[in-house]
């Protein structure tokens, strides 16, 4: 790590000594829009990066006392430039120009922690995208310094992009290199090499189905967006993207469409958040790939999507990747009604520190079943030989099965996994059925000892626990905007969405229903948002334990869940 930092610094200094480009040959036509709310907070001196909140009114962004490396990296990456320019008033435009030119003055000769391939790529993309605002009304000296710094950063990327980690980091470095070399004169050779390198990365990191190894929907969106951004720059420069580049974009577009809820947000799985709706809309429109490319029954990167009426349900029906960010979320699901999320997963705790990050990866932080409080996948100990210094998943479900049927009366998904087989001999099966109007989600969770070995293991565990049974919990994490209240009998929960829509939850089986606290984790927040989860707790005493439940929109029979409807669940 230290040698990498030293080499980055050395190459940054060499790049700054290279002859600068004579002029811009074009400006970016990609108008990345940030958050007006975040831009106004920045203008007021309210800094929130990497989960850390730092109020410092009147302080220059480069004079902040950086709380950690992640915060500092976010500042040097310049994504905040999107937010300031989204406001586009006198104050935010002035701050955008001042902070950018101040970076050049302080760090433009190779100093500081911002000279890494991924941060440099991210920064170059923003500088070129917002160059018209950053250079408006500036004198010759500042404009020349801006151009020289862009030239140096582009040369640095040409020398160091290979050292970026495979995946999103390397795509950021290469997209910045493509954009920089296309926008500056005299860099045609760099642009050609960058375009070919980007195509090779597409071929090695994105499979023919448009999936990436991490199975993180938001990471897929970011890579898709970068590929479209780079493709737009290449076309403006008169150089069409390579075949592998175009093929990757074509394959990814239908996958992302199927990972979206009806409100436009992405499903929150494997460290990914909801994404930025405008960013995805632009990328999909720019890709020019028609939405009919994906069939209804197809899985998208290991997820099944069901959409009826105003309701969407997205289910994780594949094993997690053996990566340091994968979650133990097999058979977890999310449900959105119109523009309002109802059942969610807790999300990624990446921005809130290591403890929250690990909590977020457990099965209990997802809307699915856990046995004895254990996760369906096991994590390596920190720093262990198998983990590579991180808590990688070292034991995931070996077999995940799926059967999907689309009928006139809705869609039924039956899926199962053997993640608990080794511990207690039980497999988890889940049946989910959504009616054609999207008003009812019938569910059934089954713990089944299906094999002789499984029954022996289960019997042994029962004996060790003196026949008290194997405890399990079925969790339904609710979005923070959902209000919930249980009835006096503790068998039914009423839920109210912000638009006044009412949903009801009911269950059958030998379980206890409770409303318990939960946390909703967002990368743009410095602390978790408090929310509620519905928890069904019980004990598996036999080889087959079944729990039926239903989520029903309160539109029939005065909003009361009928016994025959629950029985069908």
550 beta partners: 442, 506
Query: How big is the CA angle at 99 (ends 94 and 100), to the nearest 5 degrees?
Result: 100
Contact between residue 520 and residue 346 where contact means Cβ atoms under 8 Å apart: yes
DSSP state of 165: P
How far apart CA 262 and CA 266 sit, in angstroms, is 9
Q: How far is CA 554 from the centre of its chain?
A: 31
pTM of this prediction? Answer: 0.93
Residue count of the chain: 569
- Cα dihedral sign, 376-381-387-389: positive
Query: What would the 3-class secondary structure string for 294-363 be?
Result: CCCCCCECCEEEEEECCEEEEEECCCCCCCCCCCCCCCCEEEEECCEEEEECCCCCHHHCHHHHHHHHCH
How far apart CA 566 and CA 445 sit, in angstroms, is 13
How far apart CA 10 and CA 14 sit, in angstroms, is 6
Residues 6 or more apart in contact with residue 480 via CB below 8 angstroms:
520, 529, 530, 531
Torsion-angle region of residue 259: left (phi > 0), alpha (psi -120 to 50) or beta?
A: alpha
Residues 6 or more apart in contact with residue 285 via CB below 8 angstroms:
none
pLDDT at residue 296, as a whole number: 56
Contact between residue 318 and residue 299 where contact means Cβ atoms under 8 Å apart: yes
How far apart CA 404 and CA 541 sit, in angstroms, is 29
- The SS3 of residue 388 is coil
How far apart CA 101 and CA 133 sit, in angstroms, is 12
How far apart CA 477 and CA 364 sit, in angstroms, is 10
Q: Which residues of 154-165 are buried (b: 16+ CB within 10 A; e: fewer)?
A: bbbbbbbbebbe
Rg from Cα positions in the chain? 26
pLDDT at residue 371, as a whole number: 95
400 beta partners: 417
Closest CA to 117 of 71, 168, 53: 168
Which pair of structure tokens corresponds to residue 224? 């898709």
512 beta partners: 537
pLDDT at residue 260, as a whole number: 95
How far apart CA 31 and CA 125 sit, in angstroms, is 11
Alpha-carbon torsion angle 353, 342, 306, 525, nearest 10 = -30
Which pair of structure tokens corresponds to residue 164? 């970026």
Q: What is the largest CA-CA distance in the chain?
A: 83
In the sheet with 440-448, reading across from the earlier edge strand, the strands are 400-407, 410-417, 427-434, 440-448, 544-553, 502-508, 492-496, 483-486
How far apart CA 354 and CA 357 sit, in angstroms, is 5
pLDDT at residue 83, as a whole number: 93
Per-residue pLDDT 10s for the chain (569 aa) are: 778 889 999 999 999 999 888 888 877 666 677 889 999 999 999 999 988 889 999 899 999 999 999 999 999 999 999 999 999 899 999 999 999 999 999 999 999 999 999 999 999 999 999 998 899 888 899 999 999 999 999 999 999 999 999 999 999 999 999 999 999 999 999 999 999 999 999 999 999 999 999 999 999 999 999 999 999 999 999 999 999 999 999 999 999 999 999 999 999 999 999 998 888 898 898 888 876 544 555 799 999 999 999 999 999 999 998 888 899 999 999 999 999 999 999 999 887 878 888 999 999 999 999 998 899 999 886 654 433 345 788 889 999 999 999 988 899 999 999 999 988 999 999 999 999 999 999 999 999 998 999 999 999 888 877 668 899 999 999 999 999 999 888 789 999 999 889 999 999 889 999 999 999 998 777 789 999 999 999 999 999 999 999 999 985 434 444 444 444 44
C-alpha distances out from residue 387 to 54, 219, 395, 516, Å: 33, 21, 11, 33
DSSP H helix total and E strand total for the chain:
17, 20
Contact between residue 109 and residue 164 where contact means Cβ atoms under 8 Å apart: no
Closest CA to 471 of 417, 510, 508: 510
506 beta partners: 492, 550
The secondary structure of 389-405 as a DSSP string is TS--EEE--S-EEEEEE
pLDDT at residue 569, as a whole number: 46
- The SS3 of residue 118 is helix
pLDDT at residue 448, as a whole number: 96
Query: How big is the CA angle at 174 (ends 172 and 175), to the nearest 5 degrees?
Result: 65
Closest CA to 434 of 412, 416, 462: 412
How far apart CA 434 and CA 212 sit, in angstroms, is 28
E strand or H helix that includes residue 462: helix 452-464
Query: What would the 3-class secondary structure string for 168-186 be?
Result: HHHHHHHHHHHHHHHHECC
pLDDT digits (tens, 9 = 90+) for 239-271: 999 999 999 999 999 999 999 999 999 999 999
How far apart CA 313 and CA 297 sit, in angstroms, is 13
């Amino acid at each position: 790590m230290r040698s990498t930092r030293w080499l980055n610094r050395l190459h940054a200094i060499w790049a700054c000594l290279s002859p600068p480009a004579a002029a811009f040959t074009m400006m970016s036509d990609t108008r990345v829009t940030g958050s007006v709310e975040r831009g106004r907070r920045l203008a007021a001196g309210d800094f929130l990066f990497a989960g850390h909140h730092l109020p410092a009114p009147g302080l220059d962004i480069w004079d902040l006392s950086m709380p950690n490396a992640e915060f500092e990296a976010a500042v040097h990456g310049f994504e905040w430039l999107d937010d300031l320019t989204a406001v586009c008033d006198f104050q935010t435009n002035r701050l955008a120009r001042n902070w950018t030119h101040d970076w050049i003055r302080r760090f433009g000769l190779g100093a500081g922690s911002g000279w890494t391939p991924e941060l440099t790529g991210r920064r170059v993309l923003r500088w070129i995208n917002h160059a018209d605002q950053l250079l408006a009304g500036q004198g010759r000296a500042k404009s020349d310094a801006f151009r020289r710094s862009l030239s140096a950063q582009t040369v640095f990327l040409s020398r160091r992009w290979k050292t970026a980690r495979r995946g999103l980091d390397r795509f950021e470095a290469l997209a910045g290199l493509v954009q920089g070399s296309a926008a500056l004169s005299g860099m045609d050779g760099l642009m050609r090499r960058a375009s070919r390198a980007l195509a090779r990365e597409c071929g090695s990191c994105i499979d023919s189905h448009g999936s990436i190894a991490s199975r993180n929907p938001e990471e897929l969106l970011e890579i898709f967006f970068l590929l479209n951004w780079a493709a737009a720059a290449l076309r403006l420069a008169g150089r069409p993207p390579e075949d592998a580049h175009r093929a990757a974009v074509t394959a990814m577009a239908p996958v992302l469409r199927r990972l979206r809820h009806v409100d436009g947000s992405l499903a929150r799985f494997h460290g990914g958040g909801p994404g930025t709706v405008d960013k995805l809309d632009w990328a999909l429109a720019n890709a020019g790939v028609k939405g009919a490319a994906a069939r209804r029954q197809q899985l998208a990167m290991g997820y099944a999507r069901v959409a009826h009426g105003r309701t969407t349900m997205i289910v994780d029906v594949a094993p997690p990747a053996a990566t340091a960010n994968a979650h133990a979320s097999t058979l977890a699901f999310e449900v959105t009604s119109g523009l309002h999320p109802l059942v969610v997963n807790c999300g990624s705790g990446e921005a809130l520190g290591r403890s929250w990050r690990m909590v977020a990866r457990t099965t209990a932080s997802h809307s699915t079943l856990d046995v004895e409080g254990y996760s369906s996948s096991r994590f390596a100990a920190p720093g262990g030989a198998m983990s590579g210094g991180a808590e990688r998943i070292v034991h995931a479900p070996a077999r995940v099965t799926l059967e999907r049927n689309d009928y006139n009366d809705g869609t039924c998904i039956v899926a199962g996994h053997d993640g608990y087989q080794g511990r207690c001999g039980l497999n988890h099966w889940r049946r989910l059925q959504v009616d054609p109007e999207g008003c009812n989600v019938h569910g059934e969770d089954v713990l089944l000892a299906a094999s002789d070995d499984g029954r022996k293991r289960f019997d042994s565990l029962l004996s060790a626990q003196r026949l008290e049974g194997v405890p399990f919990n079925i969790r339904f994490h609710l979005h923070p905007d959902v209000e919930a209240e249980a009835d006096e009998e503790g068998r039914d929960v009423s839920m109210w969405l912000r638009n006044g829509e009412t949903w009801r939850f009911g269950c059958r089986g030998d379980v206890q229903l409770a409303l318990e606290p939960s946390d909703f984790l967002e990368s743009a927040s410095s602390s978790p948002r408090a929310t509620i989860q519905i928890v069904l707790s019980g004990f598996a005493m036999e080889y087959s334990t079944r729990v039926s439940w239903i989520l029903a929109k309160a539109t029939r029979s005065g909003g009361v869940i009928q016994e025959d409807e629950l029985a069908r669940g």
